[in-house]
Amino acid sequence: MSPYVPGEQPQGGGWVKLNTNENPYPPSLRALEAVRVALVNDGAALRLYPSPDSAPLREAAGRFHGFDAAHVVAGNGSDDILNLLIRAYAGPGRPIGMLNPSYSLYPVLAAAQHAEVVKVEVTDALGVDVDAVAKCGAAVFFLTNPNAPLGVAFGTEVVRSLAKAFPGLLVVDEAYAAFADADCVALVSEFPNVVVTRTLSKAHALAGLRVGYALCPPLVAEVLHRVRDSYNVDRLAQVAAAAALDDREWLDVTVAQVRATRDRLAAALRKLGWQVNPAAGNFVLAAPVSTKRAASVETAAHCFEFLRARKILVRRFPNHRLTEKSLRISVGTEQETDVFLQAVAAWMEG
């Protein structure tokens, strides 16, 4: 079993960190105030266990999406939810399915449950082969939408077709959906085999607190509650996340800013001649080129090291034909984006 390899977390200051798709802006002030309130009386509340099933957080997620709390299961980040789904529905003789490429944590979680992994290749047109998914033989299929690391989003009608065709549990991992034009939340009410997972790490800027949740049919929620750890979301994370979900104004403003910077970044790279995928998340996947270097694995590696030497971190995924020539660049602030583009211009001149 091989562990999940996260993006580099540098030590010391001065880095422009565009490698782990974190939100570049501080979280909602309501979330911070909720933490302060929870810490009154010298933090006496911390001696007590939190809500065992994250009831206030689940109610907030329900309000956010227009669901009853019975449809919501909270977790220690959406990774915890993914683990619960595999723990409950996969195992020996019950494989998981996933697109290739997509989130590399899925095989790690599957290995812990002795579940085989079936990979369905993303098409050359960056689409989904619905028939191949339907016939893949998996008990659970994970659809990262928008896809990471490719950045593309699969339309709601495509996902609806998957839900109809796939005989098992279809998990739509919507870690980046807040930055896309549409989501698949409504399909949870339409189909008994659809689960949508969400995280507060990206759009809500709470990666440091580790909060996520699933929207699912009540019978699936009941199963997940059986297998999850008790008190799996801590007290401060629960109150901060609930407050963040209720602050839709902050979310709308911040997401709009990230999308605007993303589109500016993509347009600037295309103008420089880079090959840029359609971007629906808070990152851009682009293949670097210059007058001296065509798009290639070696060119991507050279540009990566050039940027890192200047304390700018991006991410490489050299193990798949659709990503090997590219760099994944998280959307930073406007200033960070300018620093990155200036460094790119210097690399292209070298």
What is the CATH number for 311?
A: 3.90.1150.10
- Pair (69, 216) in one structural domain: yes
Is 301 domain-assigned?
A: yes
Residue span of the structural domain in which 141 resides: 29-246
Q: What is the pLDDT of residue 101?
A: 98
Is 11 domain-assigned?
A: no
- Pair (221, 178) in one structural domain: yes
Query: CA 151 to CA 156: how far, in whole Å?
Result: 16
Q: What is the pLDDT of residue 350?
A: 81
- Pair (122, 146) in one structural domain: yes
CB atoms within 10 A of CB 247: 18
Is 292 domain-assigned?
A: yes
Q: What is the pLDDT of residue 1?
A: 85
* Domain final residue pick, 246, 274, 295: 246
What is the domain count for the chain?
Answer: 2
Q: What is the pLDDT of residue 9?
A: 92
- Pair (168, 271) in one structural domain: no
Is 7 domain-assigned?
A: no
Query: CA 135 to CA 124: how far, in whole Å?
Result: 20
Closest among 166, 152, 178 to 78, alpha carbons compared: 178
Looking at the DSSP assignment, which residues form a beta bridge with residue 196? 172, 215
CB 194 within 8 A of CB 212: no
Query: CA 248 to CA 299: how far, in whole Å?
Result: 42
Residues in the chain predicted with pLDDT less than 70, given as ranges, are none
Is 158 domain-assigned?
A: yes
- Pair (219, 257) in one structural domain: no
- Pair (280, 200) in one structural domain: no
- Sequence-distant (6+) residues with CB within 8 A of 159 are 143, 145, 170, 172, 184, 187
- Pair (203, 326) in one structural domain: no
Query: CA 197 to CA 1: how far, in whole Å?
Result: 25
Query: CA 210 to CA 251: how far, in whole Å?
Result: 18
- Pair (296, 173) in one structural domain: no
Q: What is the pLDDT of residue 260?
A: 98
Q: What is the pLDDT of residue 234?
A: 97
Is 2 domain-assigned?
A: no
Is 5 domain-assigned?
A: no
Query: CA 266 to CA 277: how far, in whole Å?
Result: 8
Work out whether strand 96-100 and strand 140-144 pair parallel, antiparallel, or are unpaired: parallel
Average pLDDT, the chain: 97
- Pair (221, 307) in one structural domain: no
* Domain final residue pick, 246, 267, 287: 246
Burial 87-126 (b: 16+ CB within 10 A, else e): bbbbbeebbbbbbebbbbbbbbbbeebebbbbbbebeeee
- Pair (198, 164) in one structural domain: yes
CB 24 within 8 A of CB 336: yes
Q: What is the pLDDT of residue 295?
A: 97
- Pair (163, 270) in one structural domain: no
Look at the pTM and tell me if it is higher than 0.95.
yes
Is 4 domain-assigned?
A: no
* Domain final residue pick, 189, 222, 246: 246
Residue 80 is part of a domain; what is its CATH number?
A: 3.40.640.10
- Pair (237, 272) in one structural domain: no
